Each structure stands twice: as structure tokens, then as C-alpha cells.
Amino acid sequence: MSFIEALQNIPVFSLNKREKRKIYAPMMNGLVRYHYKRCNAYKKMIDLLGYDLSIEYNLEDIPFIPARLFKYHQLSSIDDTDVVKTLVSSGTTGQSHSVIVLDRENSLNQIRVLAKIVSSLTGKKRIPMLVIDSPSVIKDREKFSARGAGILGFSMLATKVEYALNDDMELDINLVIEFSKKYHGEPVLVFGFTYMIWEFFCKPLINQGKSINLDKAIFLHGGGWKKMTDNAVDNKKFKNTIKKVSDVEHVHDYYGMVEQTGSIFVECDEGNLHASIFSDIFIRRSDFSICDINEPGIIQVMSLLPTSYPGHSILTEDLGVLIGEDNCSCGKKGKYFHVIGRIKAAETRGCSDTFQR
């Protein structure tokens, strides 16, 4: 089952509220019924909620499951023999990890949608990519950490991939300089996880008093911000520092999670995170009612991608605020929002937050 083909010719940020709901609501209702038939654990949860499969529900009434559930149960809508890839969430020592199983179709759809979303920033043409990480993180192709899965997914969009760090997580300044010279004047993609970019790219360059000319680059980064905020580094300081050490003007954060790999929310030039046509978002109060615009609450994320497991509607452990819909000054249609941080007492997680030397 795939809704990707139905949306493949539609620009990823082009549908307004009415247009998107007309397409998206039936698809999400279809995913509820699909997983109900194929995942016994999901069926039990839906039955407990008294959900009526014969009703076409509004998007805000589609049932969600807590992200934490994936840490304690392997939820699957496919046979074990169809599993081609397993994704494991990041987490600090002693924490449980989410385990996500993918079949071939789901894995390919993640890459296709990721490519469509990222190409809205980079253009349709593939370009060289510099990864601020070590190549060792993607060695196990059958069982990926969230970090490895992210790197491999973005690597599929590139003509050539270079890794800025060696296996000891040290910046190879000579390699980065050669990369910048080789592709001088050409668009390139620089990708990494937020804290790792700060710790292993920005700080070494600052400490050595060096800078690299990557002025035509698009810098895309994601992952948790907890360590950054602990070190008094906000989004503005992060972007200014990247510009200082690499001359990069276009720096974009993204919000995503291993439970919905591929359908990421990308930051626009105005500093807002946007939902594409493949995803949606609601902000909920503690009683699960829908928050008003600019009212902080718990983030619920939806995605059309998960077909091998019931991850299409998830209540996260993150706090956020919906800023608006269809009226961002960047020109993108759809909802746009900010992430505030983790819910108090929730486990720290995130590809960059949990890196251990």
C-alpha cells in the first residue's frame, strides 16, 4: 500500500489547508484500517479506543500512539521474512531504543519522499555532499542507528559523498579544504547532526583560527538541541557561527524522528519548520484537545510513509507551538511551527544529543 505515487507530481509545499485535507484525510483513514488488519497489537489499541472503522474521521480525530511505545514493543505490519532493514533510535546508555522494521517498499518510499523534500531546497539536480560525521556509522547496512539511517538517506541524493570526520571523530581539515576547492562556485549539500556539527566542525575550526569557503553550500542539520541549549547555543548563534567558519548563508534545521524517517519537517528561510504534503502536525494540550495558534503543547506528527509498521500517527515527547498555516512569508503552503523542547522528565534522545566519545 502506497500513497506516494498519488502525490509524486505535486510540489511538496503547494497544497493549502482545504486541498490537503481533501487528499490527506482519506489516506490517513486508509492507513488506520490497513494497520488494523495487519498488526495485532495495533488492532487491540484501536479496539480499546472504541474506534469505528466504518467512519471517515477528520484528521484531528485519527488515533495516535505514543512514541515511547516503540521502545517497548516491536510493532510490525509485515511478515518477518519481508523485513529488509531495521532502524534503531538513538539513546543514551541504559535507555530503551525504538526498533522500526521496514520492507522494501517502505524503505524505498522513505528515500523518495526525502529526496522530494530536500530537492525543494537544493533543486532537482543531484549535487556533491559533505557529511559532518565518520563513514564508520553506516557500516551495518541491515541494522541502522537513527544517525546512520539519516546519513544513508541523504547520501542517496548526492553525486559524491565525502566524510569530514575520521573514525576517531576528528575533523579532517585537509579533506574539507580540498572539498571546498574542488567544488568552488558550485552548489553543494553539507549535512550533519546539530550537536556534532557544533562539536566536531565549528569548534575545531574556531580553536584553530581557520575558516573554509563553502559559500555556495546549503547546510542541512537535524537532531536534538538539548546539549546545545545546555551550552547556551541557540539557533541564531549556531547559524552565525557556521557562517563565520564556512561562509554558508543557507542553514536549515529539520525536525524528524526514526519512527517517521523520510517525512521530515524542514526549516524555511524565515526560521519556521514546515509540514510537507506527506506529513501533518497537531499541537495538543495535556488533555489531548487541540491547541490554538501560538499555544504551546505536545507535538503529534502524522506521515503517509509508514506501511510496514503502524507509525503513521504518533504523539511525541516534544513540546512545540503552531505558528500558522498557509501564510508563512517564505511562500510555502501548509502548517508551520517551532519546537520548544522535550517534555519535562522525558528521556533525552536524538542522534546528536546521544553521541558518546
Residue-range domain boundaries for the chain: 4-342
CA 88 to chain centre: 14
Confidence check: pLDDT of 138 > 80: no
In tens, the pLDDT along 39-75 reads: 999 999 999 999 999 999 999 999 999 999 999 998 9
Query: For residue 185, what is its C-alpha cell?
Result: 562556485
Region of 94 please: left (phi>0), alpha (psi -120 to 50) or beta. left
pTM given for the model: 0.90
Residue whose C-alpha cell reads 581557520 in the numeric block: 210
Mean pLDDT of the chain: 89
The SS3 of residue 306 is coil
Region 295-311: mean pLDDT is 97
| Local confidence band at 178 (pLDDT 50, 70, 90 cut-offs) | very high
Confidence check: pLDDT of 9 > 90: no
Query: For residue 339, what is its C-alpha cell?
Result: 519546537
In tens, the pLDDT along 319-346 reads: 999 999 999 999 999 999 999 988 876 5
In tens, the pLDDT along 232-290 reads: 888 999 999 999 999 998 999 999 998 998 899 999 999 999 999 999 999 999 999 99
- Domain 4-342 belongs in CATH node 3.40.50.12780: yes
Residues 6+ apart with CB under 8 A from 50: none
User: What was the pLDDT predicted at 357?
Assistant: 43
Confidence check: pLDDT of 298 > 60: yes
| Local confidence band at 148 (pLDDT 50, 70, 90 cut-offs) | confident
Distance CA(196)–CA(193), nearest Å, equals 5
Confidence check: pLDDT of 347 > 90: no
